[in-house]
Amino acid sequence: MLEADKVFAGSVPENYDRYMVPLIFDFYANDIAQQAASFSPKAVLEIAAGTGVVTRALAPKLAADAAYVVTDLNPAMLDYAASRQPPDSRIQWKQADAMALPFDDAAFDLACCQFGAMFFPDRTSGYREVKRVLKPGGRFLFNVWDRIEENVFAQDVLDALGEIFPDDPPRFITRTPHGYFDTGLIRSQLEEAGFSDVAIETKAEQSRAPLARIVATAFCQGTPIRNEIEARGGNLEAITDRVAATIAERRGSGEISAKMQAHVIKANA
């Protein structure tokens, strides 16, 4: 992962929440929120909260006396998440690096992370930090995307950008979001960090959009792909149009849908 892969600034948070969240994140956010709530946690840590899609799904399911600390490395994303959340005295918003969590040992009984572990520069060390702040027997619940070939819209965008920039195609999608899909590796790194009872479930779902242009805008303007396009001197709107045209050729000009797939992981501290 490159440092630029962590830059979600400018209009990216708003476009991420407006386009990416309904396109690919809502289903898995609701799934992780339901599973998290089933443990009846009283002290919850969310890592890499992004624009707060899990927070919005999980907070209503928590007990009235629960404490919920929501963190992200990127202040712009965290600020946007806080702006979208109804007032809730149980929630504390805190900028935090997952590699050096600013919390006491054994402070939480549940930690959750939606599509954030792929951004950890050292996953085993990151998992050790999560285990450190969990109480003995606490739960760690997170998800990661499966390989790009199992996520059709992402593959479409990758292919289109490869045609537009044949000499230097943007690689953010495969390098980071879809670069950490080996379940054997994930299990071994969690166990090396001290977790036990690791359970991994692969879940497939349909990603839907009213138009191909929505998919293209989501990826090209709501993720660090935007940084890659602009770094190559590309006109953002023109490139988005070209990506949309490729998707429309493959999937249709009206409402479209395609497979997406992720791994959902549970482990005990």
Give alpha helix (H) positions in the chain. 12-15, 26-38, 53-58, 75-84, 123-133, 152-164, 172-175, 183-192, 212-221, 225-231, 236-251
| Cα separation, 213 vs 259, whole angstroms | 18
CATH code at position 167: 3.40.50.150
Q: What is the pLDDT of residues 146-170, one digit of tens each?
A: 999 999 999 999 999 999 999 999 9
Q: What is the CA radius of gyration of the chain?
A: 18
Q: What share of the chain has pLDDT > 70, as a percent?
A: 96
Q: What is the pLDDT of residue 4?
A: 45
Closest CA to 198 of 185, 217, 215: 185
- Give me the amino acid identity at 7: V
The mean pLDDT of 25-51, rounded to a whole number, is 97
The answer to whether the CB of 51 falls within 8 A of the CB of 75 is no
Residues 49 and 54: their CA atoms lie apart, in Å, by 7
How far is Cα 196 from Cα 257, in angstroms, rounded to an integer? 37
pLDDT at 7 over 50: no
Average predicted confidence (pLDDT) for the chain: 94
Instruction: Spell out the SS3 assignment of 125-154.
Output: HHHHHHHHHEEEEEEEEEEEECCHHHCHHH
Q: How confident is the model at residue 14 (pLDDT cuts 50, 70, 90)?
A: confident
Is the four-CA dihedral 62, 68, 70, 71 of positive or negative sign? Answer: negative
Q: Domain range spanning residue 75? A: 3-268
Tens of pLDDT along 99-145? 999 999 999 999 999 999 999 999 999 999 999 999 999 999 999 99
Predicted confidence band of residue 10 (pLDDT cuts 50, 70, 90): low
Residues forming beta bridges with residue 199, ordered by sequence position: 266
Q: What's the domain count of the chain?
A: 1
Per-residue pLDDT tens over the stretch 206-256 = 999 999 999 999 999 999 899 999 999 999 999 999 999 999 999 998 999
Q: Which structure tokens are listed for 102?
A: 């600013």
**What pTM value is reported for the model?**
0.93
pLDDT-derived band at 13, boundaries 50, 70, 90: confident
The span from the CA of 16 to the CA of 58, in Å, is 19
Return the pLDDT at 11.
Answer: 59
Q: Say whether pLDDT at 195 is over 80.
A: yes
Give the pLDDT of residue 178: 97
